[in-house]
A and B are shown apart, each in its own frame.
Chain A
Amino acid sequence: MLNFLKILATPEFFFSIIRISAPIIFATLAAIVVEKAGFANIGLEGLMMFSALSGSLVSYYAGSWFWGFLAALATGVLMSLVMGFFAFRLKTDIILVGIAINMMGSGGTLFLCKVITNLTEGKAMASTTGLITKSLCIPDIKIPLIDKIPFLGAVLSGHNLLTYLAFLFCLLTSIMLYKTSLGLNIRSVGENPDAASSVGVSVQKIKYIAMAFSGLMSGFGGAFMSMAYAQGWSQDMVSGRGFIALAAQAMGGGECLGGMLSAVVFGFAQALGIKFSAVGLDSNLASPIPYAVTIIGLVVFAVVRNNRVKKQHSAAALMKTAGKQEA
């Protein structure tokens, strides 16, 4: 047991928590913004799958990670707008649209991958399981000065560009939501669409913008998966991060800081799962850890919130009796 703790108390372990959290953070921000706009996008998983595939393919063909990265973002945004078109314009239930995108994200990406790679480049690039092994990677960044600090340097420096962006976006998204008129419009549309439209805010437009934002974030997440986390694309490689993000959004109380912390908790759980299997724990036991943590996390969140309500309750009662005694 002590040995095992020693393994955990290494900079590599903390480094991996941050690394694993990044795509969850992107997806969590996507979930937060659409929730503020008054709806749920459960298709994050599928959007990330498509972005991951297009990033991987384009970087390969263009010979540049940058074009692949842009393609991943564009794919996320375009597909989210298509979702928006179905949900807001054609009035399809948005949950059904999300399910459709997720199913396409699983089977459709594999199909596309096989069609595209087999038709043009031959079978060299894609194996029979649809695995792309050659995508170019988004560069890692060494932070000067910080990487000289013992322990902390090894934890914080040398991450992928997108990892840093993920944490930066938490701040930027929070500013967008609370300090700009776009954010004000998003929040008002989510809370009382009639009020928003009665003062000339276009509810449809705002919903499309929120949707596109979730697509953009999924694009970042997808690009991270195929061009940073793994050096290639494989079927179902997002493996539930889009859903975990929905839980992180709820656990974080729908706010950016809370969402980020929740995402890191899930990142920790996944890193732990990986470590467990690395030290020889049966993978069938190790792989459920992240999901168990999800459930435990939600329970803890609910208990904490209930306690807070109870506390306020008794505080209010106290103030009332205090007031009476004064009078």
Chain B
Amino acid sequence: MPDGNAVANETFVVQMKSITKVYPNGVAANQGVDFNLRKGEIHALMGENGAGKSTLMKMLFGLEQPTSGEIIVNGEKLELTSPSVAIAHGIGMVHQHFMLVPSLSVAENMVLGMVPKKSGLFIDRAKAIEITRQYSEKFNLHVEPEAKVMDIPVGMKQKVEILKALVRGAKILIMDEPTAVLTSQETAELFVELKHLKDEGYTIVFISHKLNEIMEITDRLTIMRNGRSMGVYNTREVTKEQISRLMVGRDVVLSVQKDRAVPGDTVLRVRDLEYVNEWGKKMLDKVSFDVRKGEILGIAGVEGNGQKELVDMLFNFNVPNSGAATVNGTSILGLPQQKIRELGVSLVPEDRMLYGIAAGASIEENVISDRASDKRLNNGPLFNMKAIHEESDRLIREFTVLCKSRSQHVGMLSGGNIQKVVVAREFSNNPALILADQPTRGIDVGATEFIRKKLVELSRSGIAVLLVSADLNEVMELSDSLIVMHNGRIAAYFDDTSGLTDEIMGEYMLGLKQQSDAEVRRVCHD
């Protein structure tokens, strides 16, 4: 096995030796994993979802404890029983979902849990702000100490998280998919900052499955698959194809083949949608667009720019302040979801665990839940179990859901298979319109590829698809035409995605550019 650990008897800042983690339910998340960190390196930890990389890092950060194996930090064998212990030994973690309190200021978030006091009782705000400034300048991470966290952009929130770890004395930073929520510009900025930290002697673990980023920024990488380490490599000595093979054990086709779209009549028509949220922030600002038969319209944008609110309106999770939305001429705003579904609208929700499935119910129950009253599946008032079994077996086969049987609980499946259960239901009920909200977020490469191919296939068969995705590659590759959302507005519309580059997209996503109203209006095909 090629090994990046060429130096004999080298001392590492972190050594995790034959770590095994078996959960009480018998799932072995890690089996005999070795992992080590050199001082001052950026080390990628790669693997598909469920490969065990998060579990491994949770153990290093004290959130979970290994079943067997040992963890040595700076030559000292440690029992990391809680994050506080890890923090005390200089280990910090920047979580994928920010651990910030939105209504508190940046400075207050910085000092939470270690608040500077005056007169022994009161919070010393000035001191907290000063600490924040000091660290912000020292590490060249610009933040606004007095702004409330809910008012600052995602990129700055991440900086606050990094500073939070640094102010607690972290020398080793674990970054869990830090670029997942950033634009390409913000990512570039983050990389400069990480390199700066590296030069200062900080050690960084970079969890990611984005190959380009790994190649650009890391020194070494550890690849995990099925809870085992597939080896440690020097980044410049491996190719993307090699990494991809080690991660999934086969060559993944990273692009989707598709024919040119032949758009038909308008299915979804959205006009001048406006929404102001409960804190008075305008989340949707005169949003208008059309989605036609046989085309995929992509919505790109940094998260939090109104995409979530838009999908909420279209499936009546929320009601806009003004505007209209129709499916084949029938208004859907405020319509019960059952009625929206009857119009042929399918939803692949962003939060699959909350809105996509019932985790404690079986695969079968989940896939028929939208058609439970279908005549074909019922004998009078009772279920026709034979027909239901046939239907669910057919869907499990067609959507290659990896499971023991149709009666297995959905919650027991891996992320990718859970999402396959969702799309098996949503894609199979003769939809006229599919709302696909982050359809491949956080799932493995195999399932991602499958779902993307299905979306293209369905759109070519004459279904209208609205694809909302924060994954730039995904929207740019799948969409026939594309809109970019920024600050609740449509910043740009591209009727052809072939000539687009990340840079052009980034400028619109960050609000550096804005097309004229006439240009944006082209997305309304009337």
From the candidates B83, B102, B104, B276, name the one contacting A198 in the complex (CB within 8 A). Answer: B83
Q: Which residue of B lies closest to A201 (CB)?
A: B113
Most buried by A among B99, B113, B321: B113
A309→B276 contact, CB < 8 A = yes
B117→A192 contact, CB < 8 A = no
From the candidates A179, A201, A313, name the one contacting B112 in the complex (CB within 8 A). Answer: A201
Most buried by A among B83, B102, B280: B280
Instruction: Please give, as numbers and ranges, the residues of chain B lying within 8 Å of A184 by CB-CB distance.
Output: 104, 108, 112, 115, 123
A309→B280 contact, CB < 8 A = yes
Instruction: Please give, as numbers and ranges, the residues of chain B lying within 8 Å of A199 by CB-CB distance.
Output: 87, 99, 112-114, 164, 168
A191→B101 contact, CB < 8 A = yes
Shortest Cβ distance from residue A71 to the other chain B in the assembled complex, whole angstroms? 28
A179→B122 contact, CB < 8 A = yes
Q: Is A87 an interface residue (CB 8 A)?
A: no
Report how far A187 CA is from B99 CA in the complex, Å: 14
Most buried by A among B102, B112, B168, B282: B112
User: Chain B interface secondary structure, helix, strand, loop or mixed?
Assistant: loop
Q: Is A239 an interface residue (CB 8 A)?
A: no
B123→A181 contact, CB < 8 A = yes
A192→B99 contact, CB < 8 A = yes
Interface residues of A in 279-320 (CB under 8 A from B): 308-310, 312-313, 316-317, 320
A195-B123 contact, Cβ under 8 Å, with A184-B115, A316-B282: no
A313→B276 contact, CB < 8 A = yes
Q: Mark B264-287, 1 if CB is under 8 A from A, else 0.
A: 000000000000101010100100
Interface residues of A in 183-240 (CB under 8 A from B): 184-185, 187-188, 191-192, 194-201
Instruction: Please give, as numbers and ranges, the residues of chain B lying within 8 Å of A180 by CB-CB distance.
Output: 121-123
Interface residues of B in 81-108 (CB under 8 A from A): 83-84, 87, 93, 95, 97-104, 108
Q: Which residue of B lies closest to A312 (CB)?
A: B280
Instruction: Please give, as numbers and ranges, the residues of chain A lying within 8 Å of B100 by CB-CB distance.
Output: 192, 195
Shortest Cβ distance from residue B422 to the other chain A in the assembled complex, whole angstroms? 25
Most buried by B among A179, A185, A188, A312: A188
Report how far A323 CA is from B99 CA in the complex, Å: 35
Q: Which residue of A lies closest to B276 (CB)?
A: A313
From the candidates A192, A194, A320, name the one contacting B102 in the complex (CB within 8 A). Answer: A192
Query: Once A and B bind, how many residue pairs between them come within 8 Å at the CB atom?
Result: 76
A313-B101 contact, Cβ under 8 Å, with A180-B121, A184-B123, A195-B112: no
Shortest Cβ distance from residue B88 to the other chain A in the assembled complex, whole angstroms? 9
Report how far A281 CA is from B416 CA in the complex, Å: 69
Report how far A164 CA is from B102 CA in the complex, Å: 35
User: Chain A interface secondary structure, helix, strand, loop or mixed?
Assistant: helix
Report how far A181 CA is from B87 CA in the complex, Å: 20
Shortest Cβ distance from residue A253 to the other chain B in the assembled complex, whole angstroms? 12
From the candidates B115, B121, B321, name the one contacting A313 in the complex (CB within 8 A). Answer: B321
Shortest Cβ distance from residue B309 to the other chain A in the assembled complex, whole angstroms? 14
A188→B280 contact, CB < 8 A = no
Instruction: Please give, as numbers and ranges, the residues of chain A lying within 8 Å of B276 by CB-CB distance.
Output: 309-310, 312-313, 316
Instruction: Please give, as numbers and ranges, the residues of chain A lying within 8 Å of B97 by CB-CB distance.
Output: 194
Q: Mark B107-128, 1 if CB is under 8 A from A, else 0.
A: 0110011110100011100000
Instruction: Please give, as numbers and ranges, the residues of chain B lying within 8 Å of A200 by CB-CB distance.
Output: 83-84, 87, 113-114
Most buried by B among A199, A309, A317: A199
B112→A188 contact, CB < 8 A = yes
Report how far A306 CA is from B407 CA in the complex, Å: 47
B103→A191 contact, CB < 8 A = yes
Report how far A130 CA is from B139 CA in the complex, Å: 70
Shortest Cβ distance from residue B89 to the other chain A in the assembled complex, whole angstroms? 13
A187→B103 contact, CB < 8 A = yes
Shortest Cβ distance from residue A122 to the other chain B in the assembled complex, whole angstroms? 50
A196-B101 contact, Cβ under 8 Å, with A184-B115, A313-B321: yes
A308→B280 contact, CB < 8 A = yes
Q: Which residue of B lies closest to A308 (CB)?
A: B280
Instruction: Please give, as numbers and ranges, the residues of chain A lying within 8 Å of B93 by CB-CB distance.
Output: 198
A196-B113 contact, Cβ under 8 Å, with A308-B280, A312-B280: yes
Instruction: Please give, as numbers and ranges, the residues of chain B lying within 8 Å of A187 by CB-CB distance.
Output: 101, 103-104
Report how far A320 CA is from B104 CA in the complex, Å: 27
Q: Which residue of B lies closest to A320 (CB)?
A: B285
Q: Which residue of A lies closest to B321 (CB)?
A: A313
Shortest Cβ distance from residue B493 to the other chain A in the assembled complex, whole angstroms? 19
From the candidates B84, B101, B280, B282, name the one contacting A195 in the complex (CB within 8 A). Answer: B101
B123→A179 contact, CB < 8 A = yes
Shortest Cβ distance from residue A317 to the other chain B in the assembled complex, whole angstroms? 8
Report how far A216 CA is from B83 CA in the complex, Å: 32
Shortest Cβ distance from residue A15 to the other chain B in the assembled complex, whole angstroms? 35
A198→B321 contact, CB < 8 A = no
Report how far A187 CA is from B114 CA in the complex, Å: 15
Instruction: Please give, as numbers and ranges, the residues of chain A lying within 8 Å of B108 by CB-CB distance.
Output: 184
Q: Which residue of A lies closest to B167 (CB)?
A: A199
Report how far A194 CA is from B112 CA in the complex, Å: 12
A194→B99 contact, CB < 8 A = yes
Q: Mark A128-169, 1 if CB is under 8 A from B, else 0.
A: 000000000000000000000000000000000000000000
Instruction: Please give, as numbers and ranges, the residues of chain B lying within 8 Å of A308 by CB-CB distance.
Output: 280
Shortest Cβ distance from residue B350 to the other chain A in the assembled complex, whole angstroms? 19
Shortest Cβ distance from residue B147 to the other chain A in the assembled complex, whole angstroms? 16
Q: Which residue of B lies closest to A197 (CB)?
A: B83
Instruction: Please give, as numbers and ranges, the residues of chain B lying within 8 Å of A181 by CB-CB distance.
Output: 115, 117, 123
Q: Which residue of B lies closest to A311 (CB)?
A: B280
Instruction: Please give, as numbers and ranges, the residues of chain B lying within 8 Å of A179 by CB-CB distance.
Output: 122-123
Q: A179-B122, A199-B112, A309-B276 are in contact. List 10 more A-B contacts (CB 8 A).
A: A187-B104, A191-B104, A192-B99, A192-B102, A195-B112, A196-B101, A196-B112, A198-B99, A310-B321, A316-B282
By Cβ-Cβ distance, the 10 closest A-B pairs, closest first, are A199-B113, A312-B280, A181-B115, A195-B99, A313-B276, A198-B99, A188-B101, A200-B84, A200-B113, A201-B113
Interchain residue pairs with CB less than 8 A apart (29): A179-B123, A180-B121, A180-B122, A181-B115, A181-B117, A184-B104, A184-B108, A184-B112, A185-B112, A187-B103, A188-B104, A191-B101, A191-B103, A195-B98, A195-B99, A197-B83, A198-B83, A199-B87, A199-B112, A199-B113, A200-B87, A200-B113, A200-B114, A201-B113, A308-B280, A309-B280, A310-B276, A312-B280, A320-B285
B interface residues, Cβ below 8 angstroms from A: 83-84, 87, 93, 95, 97-104, 108-109, 112-115, 117, 121-123, 164, 168, 276, 278, 280, 282, 285, 321
